[in-house]
Every structure is written in C-alpha cells, then in structure tokens.
Amino acid sequence: GQAQRVAIARAFLKNAPLLLLDEPTAHLDPVTEAEVLESLRRLALGRTVVLASHSAAAHAFGGRRLDLRDGRAVPARGAALSRA
C-alpha cells in the first residue's frame, strides 16, 4: 500500500486536472483499500478521473461506470449514467 500512497501524494502535489488510475487498490487489504479510496475521493474533487479497476469497492467510487466489451467502452450493465 505504500507505493499507492506515494503515487497519490505525488498526484496531489502535481495538481493535474486529469487523473488516470490503473488498479490503484490492487493487492491491498480492505482497510488500506478504503483509506486509499478516501484519499482518491479528496484528490478527485474538481478533476476528471479515469479509474480502471476490478475492485467492487473501487466501483463504488462514483461517477459514470463503463465496461469494455469487444474493444469498446459501453455503459456498465445496471449502472446509472448520471454523474455522482
């Protein structure tokens, strides 16, 4: 979890308007995953975030959910299309 925390800290310092996050909570225990996701929620305020994850907890991050099917991004089944 330390590498993820360092990466998040760097993103805070960089103040980039766009965040691309690929499995930011991979290999974390549930407690650490929740802490990392809470940090990411704060970091995401006022920014565009693209988060790729297999984690159910990360899916609850908010916003619009898309699935990749046949090489295309499509609305996730059962996912609301409104912004959270």
In this predicted model, what pLDDT tens digit does every residue of 28-52 receive, in sequence order? 899 988 988 888 888 888 988 888 8
How many domains, the chain? 1
Do the domain assignments include residue 80?
no
% pLDDT > 90, the chain: 10
CATH of the domain at 52: 3.40.50.300
Closest-CA residue to 43 (of 3, 10, 74): 10
Confidence of residue 79 (pLDDT cuts 50, 70, 90): low
In terms of residue numbers, what domain contains 26? 2-75
82 within domain boundaries: no
Whether residue 18 lies inside any domain: the answer is yes
> Per the domain annotation, does 25 fall within a domain?
yes
Q: Kindly report the pTM of this predicted structure.
A: 0.68
Alpha-carbon distance 80 to 82, whole Å?
A: 6
Question: Residue 9: inside a domain, yes or no?
Answer: yes
Q: Provide φ and ψ at 13, rounded to 5°.
A: -70, -35
Residue 32 lies in a domain: yes
